[in-house]
C-alpha cells in the first residue's frame, strides 16, 4: 500500500500553556497528511470536490506517546492500510528528531460520499493508485 511523509514545524498557536502541542491539532495534522498523500500521487482534493467526490472521516483514533513542542520539526507518515469499494483506512506515525522520537500513532477510516452525503464507490482510477 502507498505511503507518504510530510514535515513541518510546530507553530506557536498550536501549543498550550505548558508549551505542548494541544491534542486537537494532531487531527489537523492527519488531515494535512491525507491531502498531501493524494497530491503526491497526482490528485488534488479540490479537483475531487469539483467532481462531486468527497471524503468524510468516519473513524479516527489517536494514541499519544510523547509531547511535541513549539518549533519542533515533526514528520507525519501516512500509510494506506486497507481499501474497500467505498472506504480507505490509514495509519499515521507522528515523529520528531528524524523519526527517532515517536509522538503519536493513529488510524482513520474515510468514506467516499457524494454531495448529498450518500455513500459512493471510490473511482476506479483512484482505487488502482492507492491500493497498490
User: Three-state SS across 31-78?
Assistant: HHHHHHHHHHCCCCHHHHHHCCCEEEEEEEEEEECCCCECCCEEEEEE
In this prediction, residue 130 has a pLDDT band, given cuts at 50, 70 and 90, of confident
Closest CA to 78 of 130, 34, 25, 126: 34
Q: Which of 16, 47, 71, 114 is catalytic?
A: 16
User: Does the structure show a pLDDT above 60 at 132?
Assistant: no
Q: What SS3 state is found at 85?
A: coil
Q: How far apart are CA 13 and CA 3, in angstroms?
A: 28
User: Does the structure show a pLDDT above 90 at 129?
Assistant: no
User: Does the structure show a pLDDT above 90 at 61?
Assistant: yes
124 assigned to active site: no
Closest CA to 76 of 95, 97, 100, 103: 95
Place of cell 455513500: 119
**Alpha-carbon distances, residue 96 vs 1, 19, 59, 89, 92 (angstroms):** 23, 16, 25, 24, 13
What domains are there in the chain, each with its CATH number? 3-130 (3.10.129.10)
Cell of 48: 475531487
Tens digit of each residue's pLDDT (9 = 90 or more) over 36-53: 999 999 999 999 999 999
Amino acid at each position: 500500500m502507498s505511503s507518504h511523509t510530510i514535515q513541518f514545524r510546530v507553530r506557536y498557536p498550536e501549543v498550550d500553556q505548558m508549551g505542548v502541542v494541544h491534542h486537537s491539532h494532531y487531527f489537523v495534522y492527519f488531515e494535512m497528511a491525507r491531502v498531501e498523500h493524494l497530491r503526491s500521487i497526482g490528485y488534488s482534493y479540490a479537483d475531487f470536490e469539483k467532481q462531486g467526490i468527497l471524503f468524510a472521516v468516519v473513524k479516527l483514533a489517536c494514541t499519544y506517546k510523547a509531547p511535541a513542542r513549539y518549533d519542533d520539526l515533526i514528520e507525519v507518515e501516512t500509510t494506506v492500510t486497507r481499501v474497500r469499494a467505498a472506504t480507505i483506512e490509514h495509519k499515521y506515525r507522528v515523529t520528531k528528531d528524524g523519526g527517532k522520537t515517536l509522538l503519536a500513532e493513529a488510524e482513520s477510516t474515510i468514506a467516499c460520499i457524494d454531495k448529498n452525503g450518500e455513500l459512493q464507490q471510490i473511482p476506479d482510477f483512484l482505487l488502482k493508485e492507492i491500493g497498490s
